[in-house]
A and B are shown apart, each in its own frame.
Chain A
Amino acid sequence: MSVIALMGALEIGLIFALVALGVLISFRILNFPDLTADGSFPLGGAVAATLIAGGHDPYSACAFAMLAGAAAGWTTAWLNVRLNILQLLASILVMIALYSINLRIMGAPNIPLIGEATVFSALIGDDFDRAMTVQPAVLAAIIVLAKLGLDAFFASQAGLAMRATGANPRMARAQGISTDRMVLCGMALSNALIALGGALYVQTQGGADISMGIGTIVVGLAAVIIGETLIPSRKLWVITLATVLGALLYRILIALALNADFIGLAAQDLNLITALLVGFALVLPLIKAKFKRLSGGLAK
């Protein structure tokens, strides 16, 4: 695999680490199966691309993208806690609604951002060759901040209350925690991170496209599952670290598979590889246990 391909994989892996952290909050911490990601990721991209193309600065564009994502997550949670719509169904409703909303925001199926100022522009300067290293570096810094920020939050009183909400809602209420409010806030936080991922994605890929959200949730879940399979832990800071590493590893494995000419895989095989990878990650604990039993038996 070439250096360019590796850096590209790293770059997208870092962006999807944000998505994976968002998915971690909804699926694992709140225990809320949320498919909003497929809509909130392109929503973040649509908002950021539209604002940047309209001449706004890229930093506030990212902030507005996060706000939009938070609103999307809030809506999904609201449909669930206030209107009692099943979690999965609530998120699907918001996801398909967002497809139309994203088209409305963008005004066209795609918005090119070639030559526009992005959050990376200041560091890249006039030397476009530097983009290859600057972009992953900036993204890595953002991921580290997001990871540490989440770690700090989940060690706080409010963060602990959110974890209790997902783990045992009845007990949480008995301790005076408004589980409804926690789900609303947690889902907003989750989708804000995913939308930030979308906003950064369009800035690295040179534009937004209406179909960019397809499969986001699967990739996010893949990262979470790979992470928790390879580094199983109950400590939250380890779990967030494992999630970030899972996202990076996932993209690198994908890049390896696509770049290994002898296998004969091409870009259109991406989803197939994803399914195989996630399936493998899911059965890995089983294989591990079997292997342990076997080797334990031999030792005796």
Chain B
Amino acid sequence: MMRADNLQKTFNPGTPVENHVLRGMSLTIETGQFVTVIGSNGAGKSTLLNAISGDIQPDSGRLFIDQQDVTRMGAWQRAKLVARVFQDPMAGTCEGLSIEENLALAWQRGEKRGLGLAVKKAQRELFRDKLATLKLGLENRLSDRMGLLSGGQRQAISLLMASLRPSRILLLDEHTAALDPKTAAFVLELTDQIVRDNKLTALMVTHSMRQALDHGDRTVMLHQGQVVLDVSGETRRQMQVADLLSMFEKTRGEVIDDDALLLG
């Protein structure tokens, strides 16, 4: 269970570029739920994700994961609870390290790291098996440098890394935005599979309303730093992209002019 309680965040306060991004953002995600998040640019999607992961600290409000108050914990302190896949394929992995070294880093997410060998034989076997499930032939390239892989391959490995260890919530930050449509479809399918198989609680930010409705079991729309729409269950199953649009316009009393939201 993840609960965000009235989060406020202003970037560059007191300057001409002051930006009040989160304006009382509240959101509760039950265990096992897969929530998709949409919203126009500047709605606060990424900021919400970064607040949950601990990359930024909210100015006020509280954040709970299960019953634990994590509001003031740094990103590395809550890594045991939070797994994530970044938008940029370069961001989620170390390109200078080998595939198995990257996996070894994720294998110990949130654990104490000592002087024991990082990649032991047993782990190498495990990594090989896990990589084989991706069906990308990467199981034979354990010692290859991450930088040699394509964006899609790297995102697939990022997903694998995020699911190597149990987490209380998985954050997906437009993780297919930088990929070509075919690869994006593959990574999305993989996402569904991994979330389902591991019964993960997940929060996926996406730019596409289609994706938001097709994946997961609940959709929330953010606007100006707040949740303005929250649909799930039968209502959501009946919903089309057009419905989502008109609901948004009704709620806000304005017309969407963000092409990115309409397309895709």
Q: Would you call A161 and B97 a contact (CB within 8 A)?
A: no
Q: Is B244 positioned at the interface, with any CB of A under 8 Å from its CB?
A: no
Which residues of chain B are near A179, meaning CB under 8 Å? 76
Pick the interface stretch among B19-27, B101-109, B214-222.
B101-109
- Give bound CA distance, A91 to B114, whole Å: 28
- Give bound CA distance, A86 to B168, whole Å: 36
28 A-B residue pairs with Cβ-Cβ distance under 8 Å, sorted by A, are A153-B115, A155-B117, A155-B118, A156-B113, A156-B118, A157-B108, A157-B114, A157-B117, A159-B118, A160-B118, A161-B113, A163-B94, A164-B97, A168-B94, A168-B95, A170-B86, A171-B86, A172-B105, A173-B55, A173-B76, A174-B76, A174-B82, A174-B92, A176-B79, A176-B108, A176-B110, A178-B74, A179-B76
Q: Is B84 positioned at the interface, with any CB of A under 8 Å from its CB?
A: yes
Q: Lowest 3 CB-CB distances: which A-B pairs, in order? A: A176-B79, A176-B110, A157-B113
Q: Is B116 positioned at the interface, with any CB of A under 8 Å from its CB?
A: yes
Q: Is A123 positioned at the interface, with any CB of B under 8 Å from its CB?
A: no
- Give bound CA distance, A163 to B146, whole Å: 14
Which residues of chain A are near B92, meaning CB under 8 Å? 171, 174
What is the CB-to-nearest-CB distance from A179 to chain B, in angstroms, rounded to a whole number? 7
Interface size on A (CB < 8 Å)?
23
Q: Would you call A175 and B97 a contact (CB within 8 A)?
A: no
CB nearest neighbor in B for A177: B76
- Give bound CA distance, A175 to B113, whole Å: 11
Which residues of chain A are near B86, meaning CB under 8 Å? 170-171
Which residues of chain A are near B126, meaning CB under 8 Å? none
Q: Would you call B104 and A160 a contact (CB within 8 A)?
A: yes
Q: Would you call A175 and B115 a contact (CB within 8 A)?
A: no
- Give bound CA distance, A168 to B54, whole Å: 16
- What range describes how many residues of B lie at the interface? 35 or more
Q: Is B163 positioned at the interface, with any CB of A under 8 Å from its CB?
A: no
Q: Is A158 positioned at the interface, with any CB of B under 8 Å from its CB?
A: yes
Binding site of B, secondary structure by majority: helix, strand, loop or mixed? loop
- Give bound CA distance, A201 to B15, whole Å: 53
Q: Would you call B118 and A173 a contact (CB within 8 A)?
A: no
Total cross-chain contacts (CB, 8 A): 96
Partner of A175, one of B96, B109, B116, B145: B109
Q: Give residues of chain B (44-69) contacting chain A, Cβ–Cβ below 8 Å.
A: 53-55
Which residues of chain B are near A155, meaning CB under 8 Å? 117-119
CB nearest neighbor in A for B81: A176
Given contacts A153-B115, A157-B104, 9 further A-B contacts (CB under 8 A): A156-B118, A164-B105, A174-B109, A175-B76, A175-B106, A175-B108, A176-B108, A177-B76, A177-B113
| Binary interface encoding of chain A residues 180-212 relative to chain B, with 1 for a CB under 8 A from any of its CBs, else 0 | 000000000000000000000000000000000
Q: Would you call A175 and B93 a contact (CB within 8 A)?
A: no
Which residues of chain B are near A167, meaning CB under 8 Å? 94-97
Residues in A lying within 8 Å of B, measured CB to CB: 153, 155-161, 163-164, 167-168, 170-179, 234
Q: Would you call A176 and B76 a contact (CB within 8 A)?
A: yes
Which residues of chain A are near B117, meaning CB under 8 Å? 155-157
- Give bound CA distance, A270 to B97, whole Å: 37
- Give bound CA distance, A234 to B145, whole Å: 8
What is the CB-to-nearest-CB distance from A124 to chain B, in angstroms, rounded to a whole number? 35
Partner of B116, one of A157, A163, A177: A157
Q: Would you call A156 and B95 a contact (CB within 8 A)?
A: no
What is the CB-to-nearest-CB distance from A262 to chain B, in angstroms, rounded to a whole number? 44
Q: Is B236 positioned at the interface, with any CB of A under 8 Å from its CB?
A: no
Q: Would you call A171 and B101 a contact (CB within 8 A)?
A: no
What is the CB-to-nearest-CB distance from A135 to chain B, in angstroms, rounded to a whole number? 32
Which residues of chain B are near A168, meaning CB under 8 Å? 91, 93-95
Partner of B113, one of A158, A173, A174: A158
Q: Would you call B76 and A170 a contact (CB within 8 A)?
A: no
- Give bound CA distance, A156 to B112, whole Å: 12
Q: Would you call A160 and B96 a contact (CB within 8 A)?
A: no
| Binary interface encoding of chain B residues 102-146 relative to chain A, with 1 for a CB under 8 A from any of its CBs, else 0 | 001110111101111111000000000000000000000000010
Q: Would you call A173 and B75 a contact (CB within 8 A)?
A: yes
Q: Would you call B91 and A170 a contact (CB within 8 A)?
A: yes
Which residues of chain A are near B94, meaning CB under 8 Å? 163-164, 167-168, 171
Q: Would you call B76 and A178 a contact (CB within 8 A)?
A: yes
Which residues of chain A are near B119, meaning CB under 8 Å? 155
- Give bound CA distance, A234 to B77, whole Å: 30
CB nearest neighbor in A for B108: A157
> A156 and B114 in contact (CB under 8 A), knowing A167-B95, A170-B55?
yes
Q: Is B3 positioned at the interface, with any CB of A under 8 Å from its CB?
A: no
Q: Is B210 positioned at the interface, with any CB of A under 8 Å from its CB?
A: no
Which residues of chain B are near A160, meaning CB under 8 Å? 97, 101, 104-105, 113, 118
- Give bound CA distance, A161 to B109, whole Å: 10
What is the CB-to-nearest-CB distance from B1 to chain A, in angstroms, rounded to a whole number? 21
Which residues of chain A are near B74, meaning CB under 8 Å? 173, 178
- Give bound CA distance, A177 to B113, whole Å: 8
Q: Indicate the member of A153, A163, A176 with the most B CB atoms within 10 Å.
A: A176
